[in-house]
């Protein structure tokens, strides 16, 4: 009996928007105040440097995907080119990251809907969104791709309009009585590097986290139409576009507004739209942030469900996790992640009541996803080193090789390690980093406990019996 496989239904336009949507999140629309406060206008360089690291990671991933475009790609590469435990940790890190992100985005949805319906309980909106997105993901991968395409398009159009309006204010003084604002705010108010080298690297650690999610394109590889052509096209264009959107939007923000005043105002997007005479600015940006949050949750369900499917294929989860619907969707993984997000949503609203605290119990957990979110990047950069040695025969006519290999790999790995060290030194990110470390240690112990020699012998025997029964 032939094995069921995932359907290759995602088009090039959908893949490009999925990758864009995965990285452009709510944080950008809220003004990225947390990064700007550490280093001032030099945050532009932080986004540029993080983008360069990101470009190298994506080129390394693209090189491997061209040869082996499979679902759960970087988890598979970690298992094959480094060690089985690395593939296991990569898959679970991705599940943890997107489960936590999905929960946070659903919580945000309730907050944004409160703008229009202040009397509606926020958790109700979250439940409706999770159920809706779960149904979309269960329908087909094409339905997920189309939904994500439109979610991402709304964000992209908004950013482009923000940049255009901002340049009108900066160059022509639109909304400022005809007096061009110029770009003097980039060096006044304390200079360009307001936080020194230390503040710059602190900001860089938060900036890097904002780029997390672009690697979702590697998870879509197993369900992409004409994967070689479409993956190369998507990766070639995606990094440049993200850099333009991020750096362009941040440039407009820190040019128009003094960097040290951003913490006292609302969303710079709202302020900029209002400045050029768009009276419904708050309503527009609220709607965009709503779709951005839904996009984040949608990507979370898709990405983490495919990683659970990959874990099922590798016998780390029950066989039910690899069974597909008639439309080629892994039903149990999609339902598992959706239920996990719902439980997180319920805990977020119930724990503060039960524990008699007004604090947001989810903040530390959410920020703890940053380290697991970086695991795929390390795995991609390390995996490609061995991938080159094993696939020498395929490199001669390979159209999408990693530039400056292997120096670019080592420099990118070193930069990511420096960022992690400064995350540990920064009091605001120490706890979240340690939670991520504990998660990885616990999952490593679980892996070796489940794969101890005596258990493997029993497992192999049961697999032989199972195969005989199926025959």
- The reported pTM is 0.84
Q: What is the pLDDT of residue 465?
A: 43
| Domains of the chain: residue spans and CATH | 12-451 (1.20.1740.10)
Q: pLDDT tens-digit profile of 225-249?
A: 777 777 777 777 777 777 788 888 8
Three-state SS string over 182-237 comes to CCHHHCCCCCCCCCHHHHHHHHHHHHHHHCCCCCHHHHHHHHECCHHHHHHHHHHH
CA–CA dist 371, 412 (Å, integer): 16
Place of tokens 């708050």: 282
DSSP state of 402: P
User: Quick check: 361 pLDDT over 60?
Assistant: no
Q: Binning pLDDT at 50, 70 and 90, where does residue 464 land?
A: very low
DSSP sequence for 113-173: HTTT-TTS-HHHHHHHHHHHHHHHHHH-HHHHHHHHHHHHHHHHHHHHHHHHHHHIIIII-
Residue range 200-229: mean pLDDT, rounded: 76
Backbone angles phi, psi at 224, to 5 degrees: -100, 140
Tens of pLDDT along 314-337?
A: 889 999 999 988 888 899 999 999
Q: What is the mean pLDDT of residues 17-35?
A: 65
User: In this predicted model, what pLDDT tens digit does every residue of 409-458 receive, in sequence order?
Assistant: 999 999 999 989 888 888 878 888 888 899 999 999 999 998 877 655 55
Alpha-carbon distance values, 464 to 4, 111, 321 (Å): 21, 53, 20
| % of residues, the chain, pLDDT over 90 | 21
237 preceded by a cis bond (ω within 30 of 0): no
Give the pLDDT band (50/70/90) at residue 2: very low
Query: What percentage of the chain reaches a pLDDT higher than 70?
Result: 84
Residue 265 has pLDDT above 80, yes or no: no
**Does residue 426 sit in helix, strand or coil?**
coil
Dihedral angle computed from the Cα positions of residues 18, 24, 26 and 28, in that order, rounded to the nearest 10 degrees: -170
């Amino acid at each position: 009996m032939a094995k069921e496989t995932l359907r290759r239904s995602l088009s090039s336009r959908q893949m490009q928007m999925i990758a864009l949507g995965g990285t452009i999140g709510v944080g950008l629309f809220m003004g990225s105040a947390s990064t700007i406060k550490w280093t001032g206008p030099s945050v532009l360089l932080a986004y540029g440097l993080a983008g360069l690291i990101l470009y190298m990671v994506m080129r390394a991933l693209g090189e491997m995907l061209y040869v082996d475009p499979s679902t759960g790609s970087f988890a598979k590469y970690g298992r094959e080119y480094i060690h089985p435990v690395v593939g296991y940790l990569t898959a679970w890190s991705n599940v943890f990251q997107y489960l936590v992100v999905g929960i946070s985005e659903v919580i945000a949805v309730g907050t944004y809907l409160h703008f229009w319906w202040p009397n509606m309980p926020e958790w109700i909106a979250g439940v409706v969104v999770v159920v809706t997105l779960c149904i979309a993901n269960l329908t087909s991968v094409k339905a997920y791709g189309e939904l994500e395409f439109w979610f991402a398009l709304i964000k992209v159009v908004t950013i482009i309009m923000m940049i255009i309006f901002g340049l009108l204010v900066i160059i022509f003084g639109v909304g400022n009585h005809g007096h061009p604002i110029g770009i003097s705010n980039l060096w006044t108010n304390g200079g360009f590097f307001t936080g020194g080298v230390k503040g710059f690297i602190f900001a860089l650690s938060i900036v890097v986290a904002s780029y997390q999610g672009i690697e979702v394109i590697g998870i879509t590889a197993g369900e992409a139409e004409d994967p070689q052509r479409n993956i190369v096209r998507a990766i070639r264009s995606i990094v440049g576009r993200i850099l333009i959107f991020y750096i362009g939007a941040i440039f407009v923000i820190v040019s128009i507004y003094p960097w040290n005043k951003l913490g006292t105002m609302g969303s710079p997007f709202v302020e900029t739209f209002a400045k050029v005479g768009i009276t419904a600015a708050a309503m527009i940006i609220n709607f965009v942030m709503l779709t951005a949050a839904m996009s984040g949750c949608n990507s979370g369900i898709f990405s983490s469900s495919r990683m659970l499917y990959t874990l099922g294929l590798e016998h780390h989860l029950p066989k039910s996790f690899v069974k597909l619907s008639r439309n080629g969707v892994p039903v149990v993984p999609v339902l598992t992640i959706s239920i996990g997000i719902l439980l997180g949503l319920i805990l977020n609203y119930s724990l503060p009541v039960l524990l008699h605290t007004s604090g947001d119990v989810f903040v530390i957990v959410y920020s703890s996803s940053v380290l697991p979110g970086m695991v795929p990047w390390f795995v991609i950069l390390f995996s490609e080193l061995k991938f080159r040695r094993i696939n020498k025969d395929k490199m001669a006519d390979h159209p999408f090789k990693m530039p400056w290999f292997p120096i670019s790999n080592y420099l990118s790995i070193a930069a990511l390690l420096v960022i992690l060290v400064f995350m540990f030194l920064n009091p605001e990110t120490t706890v979240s980093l340690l939670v991520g470390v504990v998660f990885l240690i616990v999952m490593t112990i679980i892996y070796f406990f489940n794969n101890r020699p005596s258990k493997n012998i029993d497992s192999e025997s049961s697999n032989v019996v199972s195969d005989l029964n199926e025959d």
